[in-house]
Amino acid sequence: MKLRNLLAGIACLTIAPLCAQQKPVYLDETKPIEERVEDALQRLTLEEKIKLIHAQSKFSSPGVPRLGIPEVWTTDGPHGVRPEVLWDEWNQAGWTNDSCVAFPALTCLAATWNPDMALLYGKSIGEEARYREKDMLLGPGVNIYRTPLNGRNFEYMGEDPYLASRMVVPYIKGVQSNGVATCVKHYALNNHEINRHNTNVVIDDRALYEIYLPAFKAAVQEGGTWAIMGSYNLYKGIHNCQNPYLLNDILKGEWGYDGVVVSDWGGTHNTDQAITGGLDLEFGTWVDAYDNYFMAQPYLQRIREGKAGTKELDDKARRVLRLIFRTSMSPKHTFGSMNSTEHYEAALRIGEEGIVLLKNKGGLLPIDLSATRKIAVIGENAVKMMTVGGGSSSLKVQREVSPLEGIRNRVGDKAEVVYARGYVGDVSGGQDGVSTGQDLKDTRTPEELIAEAVQVAKDADYVIFVGGLNKSWGQDCEDMDRAGLELPYAQDRLIQALAEANPRLVVVNVSGNAVAMPWVEQVPAIVQAWFLGSEAGNALAAILTGDVNPSGKLPFTFPAKLEDVPAHSLGDYVSERRKDTVNVEYKEGIFVGYRWTDKQKKVKPLFPFGHGLSYTTFEYGNPMADSKSMTSDGTLTIRVNVKNTGNREGQETVQLYISDKKSALPRPIKELKGFRKVRLAPGEEKEVQFTIDREALSYFNDQRHAWIADPGKFEAIIASSAEDVKGKVAFDLLEAPASSQVPY
């Protein structure tokens, strides 16, 4: 028996006399959870209810020892289970058995465009969390990619609310199948990191409901997440961890959420607002003692003085009890597993399927090892560990295969693999007491490093440059945004020099964000590799050598320049640190990512949303609809045939966009409303079907506060990316009977 279960058993001895007479309902695992919750609630003292709703350590909250109700233990995610930390510090506790498997960053998961991969991801990381006896995984993140400068974009699922919604639901189900709660974050409007504690987002209701809330709504109503984490920023002038509009009106009211609202660490600011604003479980408040948290003694004192009632307290305690009965006190939770072969295989599969082939002029890739004598690998990111750093997603891993190591392992003795540093970026290798153990110090000048790289590259059959960003301060990292779109550490100069030295150049960009590519025309092959976790090098090597046919698609637009991003061109992004409250108006409204690019027409992205190449080719047939019209209470099926016309097996993601040709309010040119990933052998052809309903045709009318589908003409657009349209089919939406016109 594990220690925690043993301690819980000892605690239960305190109620043994009662158990001998009649088993309390809250301890009866056969009873419905709501009965157990109500039974336990009526047994709690006022003081026990207060203790239940705030932290007792950096990552745990107390249970009720008197009743045998266990503590709640949380752990950072969403890419792996964080190492154990000291009771009241961020630094690790020095355990030797808390290393984990690092899974690819969520941008990579989104790039798979495959809900099956999301389910596998959630199941695997949930097993690791369960084995470590964690009740709640602090993730996944589903905030929308609004600007490529956001330091935390790598933790999210891209720019499109539909894609994020479809990917988050199976992730949640996978994690929670282990009896571990997901804590979906950061609710809401957390779209940049700089000034995150004092940014007040000014946004119209239409953009809020159409762009920034759908993934959270899907997490609640379809995924059934047991916890939601509030964000640091403000909305309507109120911090979001205690925001009644977001938490009470929308989350718990409109969506019927019955789970726990958890504060981000340091996200609670006021006792009275926390009481009435919808917060249930307070973590990380920066005070001298846990009893001084806003929802601790100050709350208790207000009740005792008659300044606050107990209605809100009972609701908060009820939700925390529900969480406990769903997790540690559920008969369905598993024992889990850690660092298993299956988890490494899952990390590898997700990484392979998420890597995006952006460009492959002349078919330079895959590497032909039968005709290759020498491969030159250049760049710091070819050797730098990426699992440590980045903020709260930093991990301590059992192993991490670097790109250089992965390439060398795959190539073996078939060719010589040589390495040159090329540039020096961040030579540090630690966070919160976790160290990579790497010594990356190099005192050579940029000129010397470039000269060496060019010399090594000149006579190589392939030059593989592995660069991009890292998870250091000011790059892909929590609490700070990037300074600009360009690559850091003078990498652009290095890439230009390599392109001049050898035309057989492959650029591998490791990042969770889009980057500028002033050398894009000079480089024949470009690969977007993301932060790939423990199996990074093996996943990348499999793609480069053709062991795996690339099938990833971009979950966000790569702009050609920062001015092509409306958050920057419209001037509503604040880049400098401020101490006062900063109003940031989302002037672009619903026109985010490809929606903005389509609207501008003359603005061409560097690489569009949904883009990704393959080593084979696909041919699309003409899309067909099963009817020329549908009613708003009916459905319509769109069919299209897709054929593999190449000579190797591959996967293609067929994308369905909907275009409203005439609506009462302005709408995007098209919006993603469906996608299917199909695997095809050479010469194989399959029919792909999409069934759409009124929801796929609707927009949010903020004046009526309702989702509306205006009768009229629509188009279903079949595409391979937001820019690569394969075919269109027109249809009409007809007026349905009045009884069917209830906004969903």
Q: Which fold has domain 3-87+103-326?
A: TIM Barrel (3.20.20)
Is residue 557 scored above 60 in pLDDT?
A: yes
Query: β-strand 699-701 against 706-708: which pairing, if any?
Result: antiparallel
Average pLDDT over residues 523-533: 98
Is 12 in a helix, a strand, or coil?
helix
List the one residue out of 351, 355, 347, 354 whose CA is nearest residue 509. Answer: 355
Higher pLDDT residue, 7 or 627?
627
Asked if 3-87+103-326 and 355-548 have one fold, the answer is no
pLDDT at 700: 98
Contact 700, 206 (CB under 8 A): yes
Going by C-beta distance under 8 Å and a sequence separation of 6 or more, which residues neighbour residue 461? 371, 372, 373, 374, 375, 415, 504
Q: Which fold has domain 355-548?
A: Rossmann fold (3.40.50)
- Per-chain mean pLDDT for the chain: 95
Residue 252 banded pLDDT, cuts 50, 70, 90: very high
C-alpha span between 508 and 456 (Å, rounded): 18
Is residue 620 scored above 60 in pLDDT?
A: yes
Give the torsion sign (CA, 11, 17, 20, 24): negative
Q: What are residue 676's DSSP bridge partners? A: 654
Q: Write down how long the chain is.
A: 744
DSSP letter assigned to residue 740: G
C-alpha span between 131 and 134 (Å, rounded): 8
φ/ψ bin of 530: left (φ > 0), alpha (ψ from -120 to 50), beta (otherwise)? left
pLDDT at 739: 46
Contact 585, 690 (CB under 8 A): no
Q: Decide which of 3.30.830.10, 3.80.10.10, 2.60.40.10, 3.40.190.10 is the CATH code for 616-740.
A: 2.60.40.10
The token duo for 666 is 């302005």
C-alpha span between 722 and 593 (Å, rounded): 10
Q: Where are the domains of the chain?
A: 3-87+103-326, 355-548, 616-740
Residue 737 banded pLDDT, cuts 50, 70, 90: low
Alpha helices in 105-229 (DSSP H): 106-112, 115-131, 161-176, 205-207, 214-221
Q: Give the tens place of pLDDT for each residue, 660-677.
A: 998 899 999 999 999 999
Is residue 178 scored above 80 in pLDDT?
A: yes
pLDDT at 3: 54
Q: Give the tens place of pLDDT for each residue, 187-200.
A: 999 999 999 999 99
Q: Give the tens place of pLDDT for each residue, 436-471.
A: 999 999 999 999 999 999 999 999 999 999 999 999
Q: Give the tens place of pLDDT for each residue, 663-720.
A: 899 999 999 999 999 999 999 999 999 999 999 999 999 999 999 999 999 999 999 9
Q: Is 264 a catalytic residue?
A: yes
pLDDT at 371: 97
List the one residue out of 338, 352, 408, 422 whose CA is nearest residue 375. Answer: 408
pLDDT at 334: 87
pLDDT at 482: 97
Rounded percentage of the chain residues whose pLDDT exceeds 90? 94
Contact 260, 280 (CB under 8 A): yes
Q: Give the tens place of pLDDT for each residue, 368-392.
A: 999 999 999 999 999 999 999 999 9
φ/ψ bin of 391: left (φ > 0), alpha (ψ from -120 to 50), beta (otherwise)? left
Rounded percentage of the chain residues whose pLDDT exceeds 70? 96
Average pLDDT over residues 136-151: 98
The DSSP annotation for 358-383 comes to EEEGGG-PSP-GGG-SEEEEESGGGT
Is residue 33 scored above 60 in pLDDT?
A: yes
The token duo for 612 is 């990704």
Higher pLDDT residue, 603 or 620?
620
pLDDT at 19: 46
How far are the Cα atoms of 88, 568, 595, 664, 701 from residue 588, in angstroms, in the given order?
42, 10, 10, 19, 17
pLDDT at 577: 93
Give the pTM. 0.96
pLDDT at 4: 58
Is residue 98 scored above 80 in pLDDT?
A: yes
pLDDT at 333: 81
Residue 22 banded pLDDT, cuts 50, 70, 90: confident
Is residue 55 scored above 70 in pLDDT?
A: yes
Going by C-beta distance under 8 Å and a sequence separation of 6 or more, which residues neighbour residue 208? 188, 189
List the one residue out of 573, 679, 53, 596 whose CA is nearest residue 318. Answer: 53
Determine which one of 160, 264, 598, 660 is catalytic: 264
Helices (H) and strands (E) in the chain, counts: 21, 29
